[in-house]
Amino acid sequence: MAKASASHNHRRQDTFEVTSPKPGDTIAVTSGDTPLVIQWSVPQAIADKTVYIALVQGQNVSSLSTVETVNASAPNNGSYTWYSEYNNALYTSSTGRGGAPSGCNYTISLKSWTDEIFSGYFAILNPNDGGLATNATCPQDVGVLRPSNGTYEPISSRSASSSATSSPTGGGSDPSPASNGFSQTTLIVAILVPIVVLLLAFGSLLWLALRRGWLVRPARLQTNARDASAGMKGTSEFGNDVAGQAGILWQRPATSQAPSELPARNGEVHQLYGDESRRAL
């Protein structure tokens, strides 16, 4: 028969929860006195009730089956030491007989009054069968609570619900456990911020292009080129006309013209004035 430890480490909490063994622990089946320490939290509401402790095995909560009853009426003080003894699950004889078979789907079940809780899955290694098989499937943590109505509820869910109820500022009733990942708001912000930055950068580039005329259409460029060409052609024709008229004005008169029709020039004495001066004399 298993022997209870003398520990009276009362750990009063609001939840009934197994704290040892922990998920992923490994227990070796030996022929010596190798104990397994089972610990749990003790809610005040069931502190005066005894605890039924059992080693169970299965891939999920609905398929768990009892391997061995550890103690049918242990004191509810938060700790119990299960020693390996002849013919129990933790003991193997020197001849290689006895002990629980190797597996990683073991859990400890605790029942107190109307509640039943489970530890996280842990492994038991038995040298008689060579240990865990290479293709062994180890299930996820099973640490759940089974209330008196027969339904299962995660321990973390019940803890979150109790915290929300006792909080003076909390009005939520969602019993789901807090997420370890990013919240929805954080994810939305992480997606929207790069989009806004890209839109702002594109708007700035578009404004700069419009300011500097980088986005002028090809048809407009052709029109501007034609206008510039027409202006240069008009200027050239006007210059030619002016030059022609100047050449006509400054063209030297023919010798057949009368002296009185000759234009006057600086530094020359008009012939008509010379004749009239002689008459005066």
Task: Give me the numbers of helices (H) and strands (E) for the chain, helices first please.
Answer: 4, 13
- DSSP class per residue in 195-238: HHHHHHHHHHHHHHHHHTTTT--HHHHHHHHHHHHHHHHHHHHH
Most confidently modeled range among 30-39, 66-75, 176-185 = 66-75
d(CA 245, CA 46): 125
The average pLDDT across 182-211 equals 77
Q: Which phi-psi region, left, alpha or beta, contains residue 132 (left: φ > 0; alpha: ψ -120 to 50)?
A: beta
d(CA 93, CA 134): 25
The CA-based angle 28-112-117, given to 5 degrees, is: 50
DSSP state of 131: S
pLDDT above 90 (res 196): no
Q: How many residues does the chain have?
A: 281
The average pLDDT across 104-126 equals 93
What's the pLDDT score for residue 245? 55
pLDDT above 50 (res 1): no
What's the pLDDT score for residue 184? 61
What's the pLDDT score for residue 114? 85
What's the pLDDT score for residue 10? 45
What's the pLDDT score for residue 169? 40
What's the pLDDT score for residue 234? 56
d(CA 87, CA 76): 26
The average pLDDT across 251-262 equals 50
What's the pLDDT score for residue 92? 87
Task: Produce one character per residue of 177-196: b if its CB has 16 or more CB atoms within 10 Å, e if not.
Answer: eeeeeeeeeeeeeeeeeeee
Most confidently modeled range among 4-8, 23-27, 71-75, 218-222 = 71-75
What's the pLDDT score for residue 121? 93
d(CA 119, CA 142): 7
Provide, for the chain, the percentages of residues in helix, strand and coil under a 3-state DSSP scheme, each rounded to the nearest 5: 35, 20, 45
Give residue 34's pLDDT band: very low, low, confident or very high (50, 70, 90): confident
What's the pLDDT score for residue 153? 76
Helix (H, G, I), strand (E, B) or coil at 84: coil
Domains belonging to the chain, first-starting first, are: 12-154 (2.60.40), 182-233 (no CATH)
d(CA 100, CA 123): 11
The predicted model scores a pTM of 0.53
- CA 167 distance to own-chain centroid: 29
| pLDDT, tens digit (0-9, with 9 covering 90-100), for 137-171 | 889 777 777 776 777 777 765 555 544 444 444 44
